[in-house]
Amino acid sequence: MRSTHKIFDVVRLGLASLLVHKGRSALTALGILFGVWSVIAMLAISEGASQEAQQSLRELGSTNIIVRSVKPSAESGANTQMRGASKYGLTHKDIRCFSDNIPGVQKVVAIRKCDKYLLYARKKEAVTVIATGPEFMSVAGFAPMASGRFLLPIDTSGKPGPKTSCVITSKLARKIFEYDDPLSKSVEIGGEYFILLTTSAGFYRYHIGDQIRVVDFHGQAPVIEFLHKGQHVSSLAGEKLTEQQALQAFERACRTLRLAVDLFVLAPQWAEAPFYRLHLPRRVSPQPDGADRLAVEMDRQLRSANIEYASKQDSSRLGSLRVNLLPDGFLGELEARTMARRRGRYEQYKHRYLYPQPGEDVEFPVGSTQSAPEATRWAPPTQG
């Protein structure tokens, strides 16, 4: 009994002390509660982060190995500069080597990522486009499709080129289509357009022939990037080579070989095997074979940019690129004569990098024509 009375006395004394200092007692109780809650919250956050990381790994595939290509640095490429253009990147031949020579590999899937703008009904979203095939679904570990289906072999079969089927995320679908059903809708990714000047009533007025790309929107007004004149397309054997492709191929070739060349002209030539002649200033490179190496690399870039160009060369319907060295200042003088003939101003003149029709370069001297050396010039593969 005495011990029980002592316990009651201690409890009574404690309660009396708490009631005497009510504010301090309340703050102490809150401190204990907040401390416990903070520990619980930290544990919950760390557990959530762990679950999210594990989920990300599961989506990537815990048994997947990702192989990426990396462009060689300028320092490493300097040693191979004299031997020709450096090549890098994964090819379909590499994919076959992975599956044939590495034990335990069950499936190899090729993907290509690039950043583009997606356009739909005056809406624009920056997206990451993944070009792949139906096998990607089995290795990526995606959640079940919200609606529709994933890619099928019929979507990716046929000739190489643009395809008409795509799969988008639920988040992007809500942004672009809002409450509409996205199935069977059409979106544009990196589209190219012609400018047509019309009246407010919609009557056709003037086709200026400029091909442009929409890169952004300022309110409802599109922000456009000029690509090339629409009529600047050449097709000797059905390759439909555009001026933009020629310009990009030349710029990439110059970057690869570290050359600084501003002007060039690519002109089609009729022959037993039609070909394109690359007109360049004489002082292209301090190295004697600089022009030849530039032609080899530009030919490779054109094959990469234009599938039909590569196909026509593979079937010997189109020859390799040939170089013609022009006197220094010839292209500048030609532009000055052209502007004087048209009575235009310099800012109104656009240099033509690609001539669409054979014979348009008749004014060009061709006494210094060179071809790529036989040892490095591309040739169609032979059947063994």
Q: Which among 360, 294, 365 has a CA at the least distance from the CA of 329?
A: 365
Average pLDDT over residues 337-345: 70
Provide the pLDDT for residue 1.
55
Query: HEC states along the chain?
Result: CHHHHHHHHHHHHHHHHHHHCHHHHHHHHHHHHHHHHHHHHHHHHHHHHHHHHHHHHHHHCCCCCCCCCCCCCHHHHHCCCCCCCCCCCCCHHHHHHHHHHCCCCCCCCCCEEEEEEEEECCEEEEEEEEECCCCHHHHHCCCCCCCCCCCCHHHHCCCCCCCCCCCCCHHHHHHHHCCCCCCCCCCEECCEEEEEEECCCCCEEEEEEEEEEEEEEECCEEEEEEEEECCCEECCCCCCEEHHHHHHHHHHHHHHHCCCCCCCEEEEECCCCCEEEEEEECCCCCCCCHHHHHHHHHHHHHHHHCHHHHHHHHCCCCCCCEEEEECCCHHHHHHHHHHHHHCCCHHHCCCCCECCCCCCCCCCCCCCEEECCCCCCCCCCCCC
Q: Out of 68-82, 211-225, 287-301, 352-366, pick the least confident.
A: 68-82
Query: Can you say how many angstroms the Cα of residue 97 is from the centroid of all Cα atoms in its chain?
Result: 25
Provide the pLDDT for residue 84.
39
> Which of 118-122, 132-136, 249-253 is predicted most confidently?
249-253
pLDDT-based confidence at 128, cuts 50/70/90? Answer: confident
Domain boundaries, given as residue ranges, for the chain: 110-158+166-184, 192-229, 234-371
User: What does the pLDDT look like over 297-331, one tens digit per residue?
Assistant: 999 999 999 988 998 898 888 999 999 998 888 88
User: What does the pLDDT look like over 329-338, one tens digit per residue?
Assistant: 888 888 888 7
